[in-house]
Chain A
Amino acid sequence: MPSITRRALLSQLLLTTAPVVEDAGKHTLVCVFLRGGADTLNLLVPYADDAYYKARASLAIAAPSNDSKSAVRLNDHYGLHPMLKPLADKFHDGRLSFVQGVGIRDNSSGSHFESQDLMEHGDASLDNSAGGGWLGRFLHARAGKNITPLSAVAIGTKLPESLRGAPSVSVMQSLDDIGIKAPSNKPEAAAAALAKLYGADVTLLGERGRETLDLFHRVSALQHNDYHSANDATYPKDEFGSGLREIARLIKAGVGLEVACIDLGGWDTHFLQGTAEGTQAGRAKLLADGLAAFDADIKAERDNVSVFVMTEFGRRLYENSSLGTDHGRGFASMLLSNKIKGGRVVGSWPALAEEASDGPGGMQIHYDYRSVFSEVLRGTMGLAKTGSVFPNFKPESVGLV
Chain B
Amino acid sequence: MKTTRRQVFQAAALSSGAVALSGCERVISTITSATEVGVPDHLKGSESMEIDPEFHLLSRAAFGPWPGDLQHVKDMGRESWIEEQLNPDSISDAACDFRAERFNTLFVRPAEAYNFKKPLLRDELTRHALLCAVYSQRQLYEVMVEFWTDHLNIDLNKGDCIYFKTADDREVIRKHALGNFRDLIRASATSPAMLVYLDGRSNKVTKTKPVPNENYGRELLELHTLGVNGGYTQNDVREAARCLTGWTVNLLKNSEGKVKQLFQPSRGESFFNPEHHDDGSKIVLGKTIPAGGGEADLEQLIDIVCEHPSTAKFIAKKMCSHFVSHDTPDSLLQRVADEFTKTKGDIKSLLRAILKSDEFYASRGQLLKRPFRYVVSSLRAVAADTHAHQPLVDWLHRMGQGLFQYPTPDGYTYEEAPWMGTLLWRWNFALTLAGGKIPTVQIAANKLRKALDAGHDKSADEVTTKLFAHFTGRQARPHELEAVRGLNKDAEALGVLLASPAFQRC
Contacts and interface: CB of A to CB of B under 8 A. Distances in A.
Interface of A: 35-36, 108-114, 126, 154, 156-159, 161, 164, 169-171, 173, 177-184, 189-190, 192-194, 196-198, 200-201, 203-206, 208-209, 212, 215-216, 265, 268, 270-271, 318, 320-322, 324, 326-327, 358-360
Given A109-B234, A204-B420, A358-B234, A183 B408 contact: no
A346 to B, nearest CB: 29
11 contacts: A158-B421, A189-B488, A190-B431, A190-B492, A190-B495, A193-B484, A197-B483, A200-B480, A205-B416, A208-B421, A358-B234
Given A200-B479, A322-B199, A154 B420 contact: no
A292 to B, nearest CB: 25
**Nearest 8 interchain pairs by C-beta:** A183-B435, A321-B209, A171-B421, A157-B400, A322-B202, A196-B483, A183-B491, A208-B420
A247 to B, nearest CB: 16
Given A196-B483, A271-B202, A321 B501 contact: no
Q: Interface residues of B toward A: which range?
A: 35 or more
B17 interface: no
B482 interface: yes
A209 B423 contact: yes
Given A113-B223, A113-B408, 11 more contacts: A35-B408, A111-B228, A156-B400, A158-B418, A190-B427, A190-B496, A197-B500, A205-B420, A205-B504, A321-B213, A359-B234
A64 B214 CA distance: 33
B437 interface: yes
B495 A212 contact: no
Contacts of B199: 270-271, 322, 324
B154 interface: no
B422 interface: yes
Contacts of B400: 156-158, 171
B474 interface: no
Interface string B416-436: 111111111001100110111
Best-surrounded residue of B206, B424, B495, B504 (most CB of chain A within 10 A):
B424
Interface string B470-486: 00000000011011101
B314 to A, nearest CB: 14
B492 A183 contact: yes
A212 to B, nearest CB: 5
A273 to B, nearest CB: 12
Nearest to B434: A183
Contacts of A360: 234
B160 to A, nearest CB: 12
B211 interface: yes
B492 A215 contact: no
Nearest to B420: A208
Given A265-B407, A270-B215, A321 B205 contact: yes
A77 to B, nearest CB: 28
A108 B218 CA distance: 13
Interface in B309-364: none
Contacts of A327: 214
A305 to B, nearest CB: 23
Contacts of B428: 179-181
Best-surrounded residue of A184, A193, A358 (most CB of chain B within 10 A):
A193
B397 to A, nearest CB: 7
Nearest to B493: A193
Contacts of A178: 424
Interface string B364-384: 000010000000000000000
A205 B501 contact: yes
Nearest to A198: B501
B60 interface: no
A326 B431 contact: no
A203 B502 CA distance: 12
Contacts of A112: 408-409
A181 B420 contact: no
A169 B421 contact: yes
B410 interface: yes
Given A184-B491, A200-B479, A192 B209 contact: no
B93 interface: no
A111 B417 contact: no
Best-surrounded residue of A108, A171, A189 (most CB of chain B within 10 A):
A171
Interface in B230-279: 233-234, 237
B416 to A, nearest CB: 7
A271 B213 CA distance: 9
A161 B422 CA distance: 15
Best-surrounded residue of A36, A201, A271, A321 (most CB of chain B within 10 A):
A321
Contact of A182 (B215, B233, B416, B495): B495
B487 interface: yes
